[in-house]
Amino acid sequence: MQRTEQEPVVAPKVSERATERAAVGVPQRVLGQVHAFLVLLTERPVSLYAAAVLRIGYGLLYLVFLLREFPHRDEMWGPGSPWTPTLARQLFDQSGWASILTLSDSRVYFEICYAVALVTCALFLLGWRTRAMSVLFAVVVVSFHARALFMADGGDNLMVLMAVYLVFTACGRRWSLDARRARLQAPAGETSDLRGGDLRHHLGDARIVLTTVLHNCGMFVIAAQVCFLYGCAGLYKVQGPKWGDGTALHYVLNIDLFRPWPELSQLVAGQHLLIAVVGYLTVLVQVAFPFVLFGRIKYPVLILLLGMHVNIAVLMGLPLFSGAMIVADAAFLPDRFYRSLGRLWRRTFQRTGGVGAKAPVGTAPAAVPPQPSAE
Amino acid sequence: MALCLAVTLVHVLLVFLYVAPPNAISKAYSHQVNAWVRPVFEQNWRLFAPNPQSVNRQISARVKQTAPDGTAQVSGWIDLTAADDSAVKHNVFPSHTAQNMLRQAWNSYLKTHGSNNKPRSERALMIEKYLRNIAAERVAAQHGGAFDSIQLRVISRPIAAPGAAAESRPAAATPRAETRYLPWWKVASHAAN
């Protein structure tokens, strides 16, 4: 997804080829570009920071979700749910879903699963043995989602997709306990030294190429998935007369279950002009999303989307849904942005003399109070 | 590597066909598309589209206890939606059990049953059980007495159009509100607690 970020790296190669082109002709040039693409695909894992943000973001969101529903855990996923284990198993037979939660109807088994899920989310978010944890995390998210299929909204749906896609990415290379361990073990170089016999060396190389290709493909799928999400959300809205006449948000703001602050919703719904403008802007931004990603204009669009999701979180009482969308958007920010964020973080916490923790989700550094120095 | 690339492209293509409106290609390959995408990559991004929901639904339940001599005692209507609404009100982070559980169960019921109350598929029967269980458990938690059957009533109140709504109270009985009664359903006897 961060193709644009990688272009400077590849660019010299491409321009070299371009000068060759005059001599060797078009087929050679195409070959050159294919070669450059293959080098990128197999040797340069793109957007490692963005992958880390996705890992931290979704790990944290799912952890918060599980903790939020702690009082309702039996009702949602447990043996005491109105969607009984029998019904769930029947649905799995029909639909192909599966869940570790329906393997036993015992309450104790459920509590153990729930505890394991909490620990998995926490370790995944911290990036401890990330690849193995990412598989476990995907199993947890799919299991809990499948068990409560009729309670899910778009945010849950997105988290399932991302949890599965993240398995293929190298999301533990940055801002993780794994990265910290690698740094401590091999202070000299960034990559760990795998020298051994010749065969081992080759296997190591093959493994690096494989993980890089998988990572790049995974990140591409994640980017495409988010584009489909917005494109679809936008284009289906275009077909609706209420989005067409600019009154759609009026109805959205009047749905009782998504109106935690009725007075506030009413106040906003009263602003007809504002409602129409924001409604149009929503559709426009969503439809435009896949097309703006390749230029600088993506930044204002991402800021608009952030504003939109913060509003949804507050006005509609959907913090989890909004959080899932914001994390997805954050995947489109360049590594250069995250690196400078990291530097900023290190500077601030070196000044305050904080503990050696790693940076939290990169989206809101200002919102994290410098706790150690607060007293 | 070629395999990775191929799977990636095929996946993206199939997901695209899945989320796109039905077209010649997705109809021709619907079997393959569904086989690949379902269940894990299932998705639906018609968020408030093409039109946002324009009714508020109020779901209530009442219960019946038939005595051994055949006389039936019917309770008053218990408003289940009001409980959800109040759980959402002034809550920064409402639970899925308030926002989604009853709402989605009812939406699924509408989808599987249509306008009459006859379950026409196995799925419809499952949803019916689900809805019944939700209602029975909530009523049992609120209502003291024992009961052996339950009935649901769903009132759909249209949200007034923007201009007109400004003055009139939105929650007040709007003339076009529709009421639907579901048949009495037997429940596994809920004892008095």
Contacts of A275 in chain B (CB under 8 A): 162
Q: Do A233 and B94 touch (CB under 8 A)?
A: no
pLDDT in tens, chain A (375 residues): 444 444 444 444 444 444 444 556 788 889 999 998 888 888 899 999 999 999 999 999 999 999 999 999 999 999 999 999 999 999 999 999 999 999 999 999 999 999 999 999 999 999 999 999 999 999 999 999 999 999 999 999 999 999 999 999 999 999 999 999 999 987 654 444 445 578 888 888 889 999 999 999 999 999 999 999 999 999 999 999 999 999 999 999 999 999 999 999 999 999 999 999 999 999 999 999 999 998 889 999 999 999 999 999 999 999 999 999 999 999 999 999 999 999 999 998 877 654 444 444 444 444 333 333 332
Closest to B82 (Cα-Cα) out of B165, B155, B30: B155
Q: Are residues B172 and B88 both part of a single domain?
A: yes
Q: Are residues B178 and B133 in the same domain?
A: yes
Contact between B63 and B152 under an 8 Å Cβ cutoff? The reply is no
The answer to whether residue B49 is domain-embedded is no
pLDDT tens digit string along B128-173? 999 999 999 999 988 778 899 999 999 999 998 887 544 555 544 4
User: Do B65 and B110 lie in a common domain?
Assistant: yes
Of A83, A97, A228, the CB nearest to B19: A228
The interface predicted TM-score (ipTM) is 0.90
Are residues B68 and B139 both part of a single domain?
yes
CB spacing of A220 vs B12 below 8 angstroms: yes
| Number of other residues whose CB lies within 10 A of the CB of residue B156 | 16
The length of chain A is: 375
Position B116 confidence tier, pLDDT thresholds 50, 70, 90 = confident
Query: Which of A87, A240, A258 is facing B51, going by the closest CB pair?
Result: A240
When CB atoms are compared, the residue of B4, B5, B47 closest to A233 is B47
Report the residue count for chain B.
Answer: 193
On chain A, the residues whose CB falls within 8 A of the CB of B101 are: 75-76, 82, 150-151
pLDDT of residue A357: 43
Asked if A83 has any chain B CB less than 8 Å from its own CB, the reply is yes
pLDDT at position A352 is 65
Which tokens belong to A88?
Answer: 């769930």
In Å, how far is B45's CA from the nearest CA of chain A?
5
- Ranking A346-360, B63-77, B179-193 by mean pLDDT, the lowest is A346-360
What string of DSSP letters covers A310-357? Answer: HHHHHHSS-HHHHHHHHHHHHTTS-HHHHHHHHHHHHHHHHHTT--SP
A334-346 confidence digits (pLDDT tens): 999 999 999 999 9
User: For residue B16, what are the domain limits?
Assistant: 2-37
Assess whether B89 and B11 both reside in one domain: no
For residue range B1-24, list pLDDT tens digits in order: 889 999 999 999 999 999 988 889
Q: Tell me which residue has tokens 């002709």.
A: A25
- Asked whether A150 and B104 are in contact (CB, 8 A), the reply is yes
- Same domain? For B173 and B116 the reply is yes
Q: Grade residue B50 by pLDDT with cuts at 50, 70 and 90.
A: confident
The CA-atom distances, in angstroms, between B107 and each of A180, A240, B14, B114, B123 are 48, 20, 27, 10, 13
- Under DSSP, is residue B56 helix (H, G, I), strand (E, B) or coil? strand
Q: Do A220 and B38 touch (CB under 8 A)?
A: no
pLDDT of residue B188: 82
Closest chain B CA to residue A239: B50
Number of domains in chain B: 2
Considering the domain architecture, whether residues B149 and B175 belong to the same structural domain is answered as yes
The answer for A 95-154 residues in CB contact with B (under 8 A) is 95-97, 142, 146, 148, 150-154
Contact A248 B88 (CB under 8 A): no
- Measured between beta carbons, the chain A residues lying within 8 angstroms of B137 are 82
Interface of A with B in 13-42 (CB under 8 A): 41-42
* Percentage of chain B modeled with pLDDT above 90: 64
For residue B174, pLDDT over 70 is answered with no
- Max CA distance (Å), chain B: 76
User: Which of A331, A216, A54 has its CA nearest to residue B8?
Assistant: A216
Whether A94 sits inside 8 A of B159 (CB atoms) is no
pLDDT of residue A266: 93
Asked if residue B44 belongs to a domain, the reply is no
Q: From the candidates B8, B15, B79, B85, which should be mutated to test the interface with A, based on the most A CB atoms within 10 A?
A: B8
Assess whether B66 and B143 both reside in one domain: yes
Residues of B with Cβ-Cβ distance to A258 under 8 angstroms: 88, 99
Cα angle, residue A264 at apex, residues A366 and B175 outer, rounded to 5°: 150
At A283, which amino acid appears? Answer: V
Torsion angles phi and psi, residue A241, rounded to 5: -60, -30
Strand, helix or coil at A261?
A: coil
- Across the interface, do B46 and A255 touch by the CB < 8 Å criterion? no
The pLDDT value given to residue A25: 77
The residue whose two tokens read 């489909």 is A228
Residue A122 and residue A130: Cα distance in Å, rounded?
Answer: 11
